Amino acid sequence: MGRILLLIIIGTTGVTSLIRPYIGLLGYYLLALLGPQYIWWWNFEGLRVSFIVGLFAIVGVVLKILRSGCDFRFFKTKLNFYVLLLYSFMAISYFLGPFVSTARLKIWDPNEVFLSATKMFLFYFCATIVINDVKKLRYLGIIFIISTVYMIYWANNQYITGDWSKFNFGRLMGPRGIDGGGIYGDENAFAMLFVTGLPFIYFMGFAVNKKWLRYALWAVIPLGWHGVFLTGSRGGLIGLAVITLLSAIWSKKRLIGIMLMPLFIFAYYWQGGNVMQDRTERIPEEQGEASIDARLSAWRAGSKMIENHPITGVGLASFMSAFPYYSKSTPRIAHNTLIQFAAESGIGAGFCYLMIIITFFFRSRSIKKWSEKQTENMDTRVVIDLNTASIVSFTGLVTCSFFLSLNSYEIFFYLLIINNSLAVISSQRKLMTKK
């Protein structure tokens, strides 16, 4: 029954996407954020749902372009220039990187990473073309809220039912398919979902008119904190502290804002768990892969790679293969997104990554200033709440990127879509006001 329902949904979404391609892109991002193919894998087994939905969405975008129904102002932006340039540097490093050929037999296969990156960038640019009004952006935000709320339920359910098969040495992993695959299989990646999704639950909750639903959404937030505690991710804990503090500062409800940080600290000491608290408190004593020295050695090795190969980098997904040539320590990933980009794809890629972050924050500030001067209506409220949620979420993600390699994390691109569209919408309306 579930498989039949899935086939009906796929068929309906596919056909609808040819006429309204944003439907297909919303479906794609639901698959990318929630990953239902790993939760209910028995219904998805043998079906390339993401590929089918994505293909229909791309065809729909092409048809829309041919009908001259696209506003390319959403595509031709400074943010998209740096995103396109970043992909170009990654492609160059894939074809010309000196260590790519030796990395093909390693865990991080450059072929798979390049194909995955190409898919992410392609869907990002398609989304910037067709997700171009407040209504569509609101749907995009709702998808993130649904995904985060469900994953909070899933994480806490594993703890309550005592399903320890989902834990790796006491650290909760995300859902995995029968083949062991999953977008949140890594504990740090799973923690990042909560870090980036909780601001949307909180700030978009203000746009919910029914108070019971708003407070029901907010009641989920402490369970989201617990979800991060269960992963044992110290990077996730830092990101969680950052987004909670910013949420408290920018809260529309002053009393709730004042209560957030004390509640978070209380929740950490009450429900942080032995794994998270031990990992946090024993940082100076740790040895091996998780120690500070191990990460510093990875950063030093990455710096040497950048110095020796400033243009092409060592090659896409080749950091671990190149590592033994630059350090005597055990080969590992950079545990820093900027260093990983620059070391693998050259200083140009690192520069583009930094410019994307800077552009995001400058444009968010511009959107915030514009929206606060407007007459309050439903659209304005959605713009304000979406913008604030994305700023807080992005800040948490960027903070964690100092300690984690999040180069292929799709939520990064998801947040860029929101920022890009809001910036163009506010800029257009600003010009209309002047006229």
Between 35-39, 57-61, 153-157, 308-312, the lowest mean confidence (pLDDT) is in 35-39
> Do the beta carbons of residue 103 and residue 110 sit within 8 Å?
yes
Greater confidence (253 vs 201) lies with: 201
What is the average per-residue pLDDT within 213-237?
Answer: 91
Q: Is the pLDDT of residue 268 over 70?
A: yes
Distances (CA, A) of 167 to 147, 177, 191, 228, 290: 21, 15, 13, 13, 18
| Nearest alpha-carbon partner for 136 in 418, 432, 378 | 418
Q: Which long-range contacts link 355-358 to residues 24+ away (Cβ below 8 Å)?
A: 355/82, 356/79, 356/82, 356/83, 356/86, 356/416, 357/398
Mean pLDDT score, 273-284: 55
Reported confidence tier of residue 281, pLDDT bands at 50, 70, 90: low
**279-301: average pLDDT:** 67
Percent of the chain with pLDDT over 70: 91
What does the pLDDT read at residue 294? 79
Residue 287: per-residue pLDDT: 46
Mean pLDDT of 14-18: 88
* Residue-level pLDDT at 430: 55
Mean pLDDT, rounded, of the chain? 87
Residue 432 has pLDDT above 50, yes or no: no
Q: How confident is the model at residue 165 (pLDDT cuts 50, 70, 90)?
A: confident
More reliable by pLDDT, 371 or 285: 371
Q: Kindly report the CA angle at 203 between 197 and 209, in degrees rounded to 5? A: 120
Phi, psi of 171 (to 5 degrees): -110, 125
Q: How confident is the model at residue 375 (pLDDT cuts 50, 70, 90)?
A: low
pLDDT at residue 388 is higher than 80: yes
Among 61-75, 124-138, 304-318, 345-359, where is mean pLDDT lowest?
61-75
Tokens 């980009």 sit at which residue?
341
Predicted pLDDT of residue 431: 46
Q: When comparing pLDDT for 208 and 138, which is higher?
A: 138
In the predicted model, what is the mean pLDDT of residues 7-24? Answer: 87
Say what the pLDDT of residue 420 is: 96
Q: Which range (103-112, 195-204, 384-393) has the least confidence? A: 103-112
Tokens (6 digits) for 376: 């309050």
Cβ pair 302, 340 in contact under 8 A: yes
Query: What percentage of the chain exceeds 90 in pLDDT?
Result: 52
For residue 124, the model assigns a pLDDT of 96
- Give me the residue spans of the domains in the chain: 1-70, 71-435
